[in-house]
Amino acid sequence: MGALTVSWRDLLLPSLLFAGILLIFWALSASVGWPNAADGWRLAVIIAGIAAILPLVARAMTFLQKNRASIEGPFGLKVNFVNAVQVSETSIGSLTAGTVQQGTFIAESGRGELERAAIEAGAHSELVIDLEDGNAWYRTRLFAVAAMGEILGAPEILVLVGGKGGRPRQVGGYIASRDFVKAVCQKDSRYERLLRRARDYLALLRNSANAGNQIQPPDFAKFLQYQYPFTEAGDSVFMRVIVDQLIDPDPGVLQPTENAPEDGPPWINLADMAQELSPWLIPDIVEMTGTAKQQVSAILGARGDIAVAVRNGTFEGIIRVELAARDVLRQLAERAAG
């Protein structure tokens, strides 16, 4: 039988559980007055300690079960661990219904669809982009969505899915809008210059609206073309401006030898995006067919604010890490108290 070893990583989950449950009791103490200095804190610490040690107990029982171990004590007492692990697994906690949110998809990259997304941007902090098999999205349009997120504050995060191995909606990961913009601009300076131009247009449109004038600024030939839509849609007109500039830039923004970004091969697929964005793309994925322990471990190991739920690799929804972790801690506290 091999040796059971425990590393600092194995102690991380129990430490987080212990601290999290104590934090819950601290909030209870602040709101309802229990536990307090006179009563309850000893019980609270015991509950937190029991819940925190459960993952270590589960690991020890798994080790003993794998090695088909048994312990014999005095008076003929004998404990067999072959089947004990199944019981310990149920103590880890699980993701409850409502933890996984479907997410908001942009069905296509047409200009009308993108402008509607811009108008509704404030309602969606994450957008799911389905690149399908590589014939659904232009690179320029995906850049426009990310630029909208950077300028307007939403969407903050883009979740990239697409066809892979003949299967639809496979997850490539997610990326912050600002990081997508940075990645593309570093690779192709045309995007940076055209984004700056679109920002300048938006600043002029805002200033013109505040001043109440309709004067054509010099060197901004399309200002009047954007002004009426701005009065109707406000800052969301930025989507129209950036897409227009990527297709038909103002004179002088690009070098004479440069083409507009959309003149080149515009289509993108999931594999190309995953390769180009690898330094920024976050692959935090929770496999919903996994055990409760595997799901919780994936949640607690997530690097960002969200994780992407998948079922056999296919996109299922978005999980907010903080809310899911709180839910698991609540379950553990309730079980320990019970």
Burial of residue 161, with CB atoms counted within 10 A of its CB: 0-12 exposed, 13-18 middle, 19 or more buried: buried
What is the per-residue pLDDT for 272? 92
What is the per-residue pLDDT for 33? 73
pLDDT of residue 65 exceeding 60: no
Q: Are residues 80 and 201 in the same domain?
A: no
- Average pLDDT of the chain is 82
Task: Give me the phi and psi of 162, to 5 degrees please.
Answer: 175, -175
What is the per-residue pLDDT for 5? 62
pLDDT of residue 7 exceeding 80: no
Q: CB of 181 within 8 A of CB of 280?
A: no
Number of domains in the chain: 2
Cα–Cα distance, 91 to 171 (Å, whole number): 30
Cα–Cα distance, 306 to 127 (Å, whole number): 12
Q: Tokens 């040796």 — which residue? A: 3
pLDDT in tens, 247-263: 999 999 999 999 999 99
Q: Are residues 67 and 135 in the same domain?
A: no
pLDDT of residue 265 exceeding 70: yes
Q: Would the pTM count as exceeding 0.85? A: no
Q: Are residues 108 and 146 in the same domain?
A: yes
Could you say which of 53, 68, 91 is where a domain stops? 91
Q: Are residues 55 and 138 in the same domain?
A: no
Q: Which residues contact 79 (CB under 8 A, 6 or more apart)?
A: 70, 71, 73
Beta bridge partners of 318: 101, 308
What is the per-residue pLDDT for 167? 94
pLDDT in tens, 219-240: 898 999 999 999 988 999 999 9
DSSP, res 154: -
Could you say which of 281, 297, 313 is where a domain stops? 281
- The verdict on residue 293 lying in a domain is no
315 pLDDT band, cuts 50/70/90, is very high
Q: Are residues 168 and 118 in the same domain?
A: yes
Q: Are residues 112 and 209 in the same domain?
A: yes
Cα–Cα distance, 128 to 309 (Å, whole number): 12
Q: Are residues 117 and 238 in the same domain?
A: yes
- State the pairing for strand pair 306-311/78-80: unpaired
The larger pLDDT score, comparing residue 253 to residue 104, is at 253
293 pLDDT band, cuts 50/70/90, is confident
Amino acid at 191: Y
84 pLDDT band, cuts 50/70/90, is very low
Q: Are residues 59 and 168 in the same domain?
A: no
Q: Are residues 127 and 262 in the same domain?
A: yes
Range of the domain at 220: 103-281
What mean pLDDT is predicted for residues 186-193? 96
